[in-house]
Amino acid sequence: MAGLGEHITAMVRSHASGDDSSFYAVALQVAAREARQGHHVLADELKRAVESSRKTTPRSNVTKLAQPRGDLAELVTVSHPEVSLRDLVVSPEMQVRLKQVLAEQRQRKSLLDHGFAPAHRLLLEGPPGTGKTMTAAVVARELSLPLFAVRLDSLMSKFMGETASKLRVVFDGVRDRRGVYLFDEFDALGADRAGNDVGEARRILNSFLVFLENSSSDSIVIAATNHRASLDKALFRRFDAVLTYDLPDSKQANAVIRARLGRLSKGVSWQAIAKHTDELSHADLVKAAEAAAKAVLMRGDANVTADDLVTALDTRRAASIG
Ligand SMILES: Nc1ncnc2c1ncn2[C@@H]1O[C@H](COP(=O)(O)OP(=O)(O)O)[C@@H](O)[C@H]1O
Ligand SMILES: [Mg+2]
């Protein structure tokens, strides 16, 4: 028969690993031992404490039990984005494709009933600042789901085995907690990071692809990258949709600027700025619009003029393109 010291040690261990059922099992062993020694009042009290605590133990502990080898919380950043599809300025074709993904998710029950999986693995690629990360937020918001941004820095480890088991924790999350899971800067996963050699990097990417292959279609996994060229062509087939982002045309550029300026945009002549938006990303345009707006407000004016915008756009181009 185990002594009190052993029981306490076992309880501390099971507490530390979040294993409630073995924690309570050991507590009941202690109660049984006390009963055998004639300490019935203590034994009964202990048993009652276990029974009532078991009832009130929150469900989250149960999920923790399912992932004993790592904590999802350390591997993802959770948010509840506010940005909607209307805020995202993209080509009409991209609008159609995104709406299709959203529609499939919204009707996933009936699709699944008929043996079809809704699109749930998306690869977003294109130049920086064109709305890839924003799209993940939009998808989360449109489906009223949390956004789980995977922290690649926490995921990547010098040890291949460790990275693979962390990936497993993330994909267990994909299965158990419906949400949008974003692997941003996804190319880093298959790259020579954390001192991995090329072979290691490839194995990490392969284990990602195996998890992706088997991932639950309740959640949406989004991989985003600025570096299409560094990705293996074979990889594209593993996703249900590959969405290609581009720099904005002049119509999109105007829409981005107008949205950011709001009421301040009344006085802008759009022809005058047309040539000045070339080569700038959506993100650049937002920043230029903000710079122009601030300059105008600090001057005490109520309207941004084309000149204000041209100055801000040209400054932005000089900063971002060099
Ligand atoms: N297509 C877009 N429509 C509207 N705003 C955009 C768009 N793309 C980028 N932005 C603005 O730039 C910011 C950064 O864009 P982001 O989505 O991070 O770009 P990416 O992930 O493609 O590098 C966004 O938060 C948003 O303010
Ligand atoms: Mg991004």
Question: What pLDDT, on the 0 to 100 scale, is given for residue 45?
Answer: 83
At residue 320 the predicted structure's pLDDT band, cuts being 50, 70 and 90, is: confident
Residues 128 and 239 in one domain: yes
Give whichever of 57-71, 80-94, 226-240 has the largest mean pLDDT: 80-94
Residues 108 and 162 in one domain: yes
C-alpha distances in angstroms, 13 versus 9, 63, 184? 6, 18, 36
Q: Is 14 in the pocket of ligand 1 (CB under 6 A)?
A: no
**Is 299 in contact with 311 (CB distance < 8 Å)?**
no
Query: Counting atoms of ligand 1 from 1, which one is nearest the CA of 128?
Result: 23
Q: For residue 299, what is the domain's CATH number?
A: 1.10.8.60
In this prediction, residues 226-246 reach a mean pLDDT of 87
In this prediction, residues 242-269 reach a mean pLDDT of 93
pTM across the whole model? 0.78
Task: Concatenate the DSSP letters of all residues of 214-228 into one string.
Answer: T--SSSEEEEEES-G
Residues 224 and 284 in one domain: no
**Tokens 């202690």, residue?**
30
Residues 166 and 301 in one domain: no
Secondary structure in 3-state letters for 125-189: ECCCCCCHHHHHHHHHHHCCCCEEEECHHHHCCCCHHHHHHHHHHHHHHHHHCCCEEEECCHHHH
Residues 90 and 193 in one domain: yes
Q: Is 130 in the pocket of ligand 1 (CB under 6 A)?
A: yes
Residue 17 belongs to domain spanning: 4-66
Query: The tokens of 217 are what?
Result: 């279609």
CB neighbour list of residue 124: distance below 8 Å, 6 or more residues apart: 132, 135, 136, 222, 223, 224, 225, 243, 245
At residue 59 the predicted structure's pLDDT band, cuts being 50, 70 and 90, is: very low
CA of 87 to the centre of ligand 1 (A): 10
CB neighbour list of residue 107: distance below 8 Å, 6 or more residues apart: 118
Residues 142 and 62 in one domain: no
Nearest ligand to the C-alpha atom of residue 183: 2
Residues 148 and 181 in one domain: yes
Split into its structural domains, the chain has a count of 3
Residues 270 and 123 in one domain: no
Question: What pLDDT, on the 0 to 100 scale, is given for residue 277?
Answer: 95
Q: Is the pLDDT of residue 66 over 50?
A: no
Question: What pLDDT, on the 0 to 100 scale, is given for residue 191?
Answer: 62
CA nearest ligand 1 atom 9, residue:
131
Residues 92 and 214 in one domain: yes
Residues 61 and 90 in one domain: no
Which residue among 226, 244, 262 closes a domain? 244
CB neighbour list of residue 93: distance below 8 Å, 6 or more residues apart: none
At residue 68 the predicted structure's pLDDT band, cuts being 50, 70 and 90, is: very low
Q: Is the pLDDT of residue 62 over 50?
A: no
Residues 140 and 202 in one domain: yes
Q: Is the pLDDT of residue 69 over 50?
A: no
Nearest ligand to the C-alpha atom of residue 134: 1
Share of the chain above pLDDT 90, in %: 57
Which residue among 214, 244, 274 closes a domain? 244
